[in-house]
Structure 1
């Protein structure tokens, strides 16, 4: 089947921007200006078939990030697959908090727990090149994506497979521990809506009350932080009070919750006392 650009933009009830993005994906180098100037440009049979298949998948609700194979985070393009969560703008608040509170010009030891695509760990390694960044994930498929992103973007990150602190036995003295763990309650209706339906469930929910992973990370942080070291965690909009309480129960100080651009609780943090 042969299609012109104009026909492709009309033949599926997709938002025009999404249709353009899919066209640019199947025909690299195609610009928006070219689409406007040359609407009768024909796609090859292969391009037309690929576009039609992607359009149908999008109409079934599959996220654009998975169809395109990438998502921008902190100004960089990260490869994403259905093995990892799609990086979201809200998570940039976690990166910003880390860069604001930990000296970016000193060789700090940093740990990212549940790294997924590597967006947080890779970004921190690139924004603060003197930091020694380690990252952990339980999923081998996620780690493959994360390692690829680190290599593609030129970041030095040391990756480990396992559950939270388990693969780091004997290692401690971190200046910073960050995590965007599964924090959705197991029966939350959002798990059955929108893009989330296609994302890895194990990266979204703890199959409990939404606080199980946060409890485990916070409980283990004081043993692995240097005096004065920080733990910073992304969480749900309605979990700020609970996470602050967990941080205080763990003996951490300077506990606070940072808001996202919508004014919702998004990142909570605490600091180990200086001896």
Structure 2
């Protein structure tokens, strides 16, 4: 009697994870083990606890092929969040694409400061300028359901991503295409706000070559670069504050660590008060806050 054909045994989870980690390490990718784990959890539809609780459980061939294809995209330099199609931000799953900047941990701190600023304001009115994926405005709405949130961006493609996120998360945020340097700012504003929050482009063009390729080659230029003036968006925000904010309204913005104190001076020179510079968790000056004074 002829013997039955040999059936290939599916590889165990831990072995698949170890092989992917080695591949990412060889390519000098950041956090190779964590990246491999995120990808395998995505493919298997499990969380970290489930992944490591069953290290010998087999990975089916189709799942393994999909996983290895995702690993190769990361090896080639593509951001993990682009490969997954989303980023985790303050507990929300935020869809991302090449049209938007991948949300950063330091921007979560901007949201933290923004929420603290409106902590005692009932039904706060909030404007997120340069919303990108919508991560700031949507997080504020998620954590302050009573807030009335507007979110602007100059990019129609970015607004499509933000709208996708708003719809999927069931968060009511008013999105609009607005150029902060354009003529439609006044007509786009639904109402003056208690909080103006922004993570504007602040990297000077001349720093482009110093950025990691995973940032320079994949985040959109419009979300990163400020031209030859790293302070231009802070001047615009400060100048517009009188039309955008109610008297006593607050401004909370992210900034370039090397230009944080210069940006603070810009706000002061435009008449904003209580200007302060806060450090991020890495100890770098990163977040500016100020108040538009009452008459």
Same fold (TM over 0.5): yes
> Which of 174, 187, 193 is 1:174 aligned to?
193
Which of residues 3, 17, 29 in structure 2 aligns to 1:9? 17
Distance in structure 2 (CA, Å) of the matches to 1:217 and 1:91: 18
- 2:177 aligned residue: 161
Whose radius of gyration is greater, 1 or 2? 2
Contact kept? 1:107, 1:132, Cα under 8 Å = yes
Give the whole-Å Cα distance in 1 for the aligned partners of 2:181 and 2:196: 11
TM-score by length of 2: 0.84
1:193 matched residue in structure 2: 212
Match of 1:28 among 34, 42, 45: 45
Give the aligned partner of residue 230 of structure 2. Answer: 210
CA deviations 1:217-240 (Å, max 9, x no partner) are 222112221110111110011112
| DSSP 3-state at the match of 1:263 | coil
Query: Which stretch shows the higher mean deviation, 211-220 or 264-273?
Result: 211-220
Look up the SS of the partner of 2:257 in the other structure: coil
Q: 1:73 aligns with which of 86, 89, 99?
A: 89
- Larger deviation, residues 189-198 vs 56-65: 189-198
* 1:224 aligned onto 2:250: no
| Alpha carbons 2:114, 2:252 under 8 Å: kept | yes
Q: CA deviation at 1:49?
A: 2.8
Query: Is this contact kept in 2: 1:121–1:134, CA < 8 A?
Result: yes
* Other-structure match for 1:151: 167
CA contact (8 A) 1:2 1:48 kept: no
Q: Secondary structure at the match of 1:159?
A: strand
Gap regions ≥5 residues in structure 2: 1-7, 25-31
Aligned pair count reads 274
Partner of 2:73: 57
Superposition deviation, residue 180 in structure 1: 0.1
> 1:36 Cα shift?
5.7
Q: Provide the rounded CA distance (Å) in 2 between the counterparts of 1:152 and 1:195.
A: 27
1:250 is the counterpart of 2:258:
no
In 2, distance between residues paired with 1:140 and 1:116? 10
Distance in structure 2 (CA, Å) of the matches to 1:177 and 1:208: 24
Coordinate RMSD, CA, aligned: 2.3
Asked whether the equivalents of residues 41 and 51 of structure 2 are also in contact (C-alpha less than 8 Å), the reply is no
**Does the 8 A contact of 2:242 with 2:292 survive in 1?**
yes
Structure 2 counterpart SS, 1:83: coil
Partner SS state of residue 206, structure 2: coil
- SS of equivalent residue, structure 1 residue 9: helix
Aligned to 1:130: 146
Q: Secondary structure at the match of 1:25?
A: helix
